[in-house]
Homo-oligomer: A and B are copies of this chain.
């Protein structure tokens, strides 16, 4: 069971450029020769392949204290909590049959087993930390490759269940907090710039999800016919520009109407400290404003790690695990308000 006090990468000390960049993720999709893709596997094949991969993971000796979690045996709430921590995908959590993941809290490393592909290796970092995450991911991938027979094609590169991942199987993504661009209506600018350079922008939980709390994931689209380093370079080029735009807008907001901004962020803190019922989206929206306020020095006495981790801890599964039982929507809203109040109360900060 996930420890509610361990918030994954968002609970960490903020990393580089953390005023805008929440986290960096390198994901590598791999499949083994001799097995069909997960969706086509029989139960027996899922067992056999899981065992094969787990052996490989053991032999590769990745992470410092890796723990393997079998998802078929895990209660739904706990599965959901791992998605809320950005450790595994919703697809893996909500899938069926034998599947699991290895998680190393210390190294912020996860390996999903029998998601869409046989293996999805993920390295997370706080803030914008592309080079370090990339190096770590490539290194781990290399160690795994020495233990497991990867499906590789001369022309198509690493084979994947979905052709859009074939080639490098690499997705480089950065989660950005863009409240300034959202408020000034300039997010479309980010979408256009990303599209022009072969990148894409998604909501907080990946493909097809909404942006909540002004978070956006910027990542590469292309995996075929492009070396890994070129993929990394495309993200390395664009993300700092987006960060600069966001900072520029924040500066303009501070210069043109600092008090309006101050009012907005303090009201959000007031709601978080006083509400008795708080919906999930509303909580994200106010946390976003408070995060902005703390970053800009408009709000003092509230710690950034507290705010960052609340984005995770106020999610439905975390609240239900905290309360030790499933909760109706209204009960969740009350638990969310109570937890936010407790975490953000003035005496704590």
Residues of A participating in the B interface, judged by any CB pair closer than 8 Å: 259-260, 262-263, 266-267, 269-271, 273-277, 330, 334, 337, 346
Contact = CB atoms under 8 A, between A and B. Distances in A.
Contacts of A259: 276-277, 330, 334
- Report copies per complex: 2
27 contacts: A259-B276, A259-B277, A259-B330, A259-B334, A260-B277, A262-B276, A263-B275, A263-B276, A263-B277, A263-B337, A266-B274, A266-B275, A266-B276, A267-B270, A267-B271, A267-B274, A267-B275, A267-B276, A269-B274, A270-B270, A270-B271, A270-B273, A270-B274, A270-B275, A271-B271, A273-B274, A346-B346
Contacts of A267: 270-271, 274-276
Contacts of A277: 259-260, 263
Task: Label chain A's interface by main secondary structure.
Answer: helix
Contacts of A337: 263
A300 to B, nearest CB: 13
A77 B266 CA distance: 31
Contacts of A273: 270, 274
A336 to B, nearest CB: 11
Contacts of A334: 259
Contacts of A330: 259
A276 B262 CA distance: 7
Nearest to A266: B274
Nearest to A269: B274
Give the most central of A259, A263, A270, A334: most B CB within 10 Å.
A270
A216 B220 CA distance: 61
Contacts of A346: 346
A287 to B, nearest CB: 15
Nearest to A341: B266
A274 B271 CA distance: 9
